[in-house]
Amino acid sequence: MTRRTALAANLVMLVLLSACANGEPAPTRSPLPYPTIPQVTATPSAAPTGTAPPGTPPTKPNRKKPAKRGTVGPLNTQRLTGTRAVALTFDDGPHPQWTPKLLDQLRRARVRATFCVVGVKVRKYPALVRRIAREGHSLCNHSWQHDLKLGSRKSDQIRADLSRTSQEIRRAVPGAEIRYYRQPGGKWTPSVVAVARSLGMRSLHWDVDPTDWDKKTTTPQIRGRIAQQARPGSIVLLHDGGGDRSRTIGACPQVISSLKRKYGITLLR
Ligand SMILES: [Zn+2]
C-alpha cells in the first residue's frame, strides 16, 4: 500500500466513524477495495440472535428453501431437539379412530412421541390420554379448543385457556408433566409465549411441516416432504386429530423407520 492510499483509507475511516458517532447507520459494505476496515455499528443490536422484534408476525415455514431455516422458531420458540435425533409431534387429538392406530405403530417401532392435545378432546377421550401417558409419550398443551386467535387475546384469557387445558389433562392423568405449549396454527405472539412460560411450559414450534393437515396432501407427499426436509434435530409436525388422518397414519410406518435409521428419534422432555 502506498503512502497516498493509506492516507485515503484513514480519511475514509474517519468519515465513517464520525458518521456513526452522529447516529447514522454505518454503510453495510466497505467502499474500500480491501476488507481490513473495522466494522462499526451505530447502535448495539436491539434483539438477541434469533429473536424477532415485538410485533413481527409469525413466519411461515419456508418449505421451498429448507437450507435457510434457522435454529429457532418464531419469537424464539423451540424448533430443534438440541441433539441429532429428531422428534415426532402429533397435534389436535386425541381422536378415537386415529390415535390408537398411531400408538400401535409407535409401540411396534419402539419410539416415543409428543402429543399436543386439545382440551375439549381430552375431556371427551380421557382414556386415550391415559394410554398416551402410560406408553411413555409426552403430553403438550395445544389450547382448550384450538383457538387460532388465542395469542392476540388478553393475557388473562390466554392464561385461563391454557390453565383449563392443563387441568383437564391432569384430570385424565393425575400428576402429568406438561412441559410444552404449542400455539394452534403456530400463530405465536409475545403474550402467548410469556403466559405459557409463566405456567412452566416451553413454546414448541416445529422444523418440518409436511402439511398433512391439508386434505390435498397425499401419503407419498407426506413421506417425501419429511424425507426431503428433515435434518439433524428436526421437530416434525404431524396430526392424529382434526379430520381424516388416514394419510398420516398411512405415511407413518415408513416415516418412523427411516427417521429412526437416519437420525434416531428422541422424546421431547
Ligand atoms: Zn393444531
pLDDT 10s digits, 228-255: 999 999 999 999 999 999 999 999 999 9
* Spacing, Cα 24 to ligand 1 middle (Å): 45
| Residue 12: strand pairing partners | none
Percent of the chain that is helix, strand, coil (3-state, to 5): 40, 10, 45
Assess whether pLDDT exceeds 50 at residue 14. no
Q: Residues lining ligand 1 (ion), CB within 5 A?
A: 91-92, 184
Please return the burial class of 90, using the count of CB atoms within 10 Å of its CB with bins 0-12, 13-18 and 19+: buried
* Spacing, Cα 180 to ligand 1 middle (Å): 14
* DSSP designation for 234: B
Show which residues are catalytic.
91, 239
Residues sharing a CB contact under 8 Å with residue 95, sequence separation 6 or more, in sequence order: 121, 125, 128, 240, 241, 242, 245
Q: With bands split at pLDDT 50, 70 and 90, how would you rate the model's confidence at 68?
A: confident
Q: H/E element holding 223?
A: helix 219-229
Whose cell is 413481527? That residue is 56
List of E strands, 47-194: 87-91, 114-117, 138-141, 178-181
* Spacing, Cα 185 to ligand 1 middle (Å): 6
Using CA atoms, how far residue 197 sits from 86, 101, 218, in Å, is 23, 32, 36
Beta-carbon count within 10 A of 97 CB: 13
pLDDT tens for each residue of 161-204 = 999 999 999 999 999 999 999 999 999 999 999 999 999 999 99
Look at residue 50 in the predicted model and tell me its pLDDT.
42
Look at residue 223 in the predicted model and tell me its pLDDT.
98
Q: H/E element holding 169?
A: helix 155-172
Farthest-apart Cα atoms in the chain, separation: 82
* Spacing, Cα 244 to ligand 1 middle (Å): 14
Please state which of the four CATH numbers 3.20.20.370, 3.40.50.1820, 3.40.720.10, 3.40.50.11740 is assigned to the domain occupying 69-262. 3.20.20.370
Instruction: Locate the domains of the chain by residue range.
Output: 1-43, 69-262
* Spacing, Cα 78 to ligand 1 middle (Å): 16
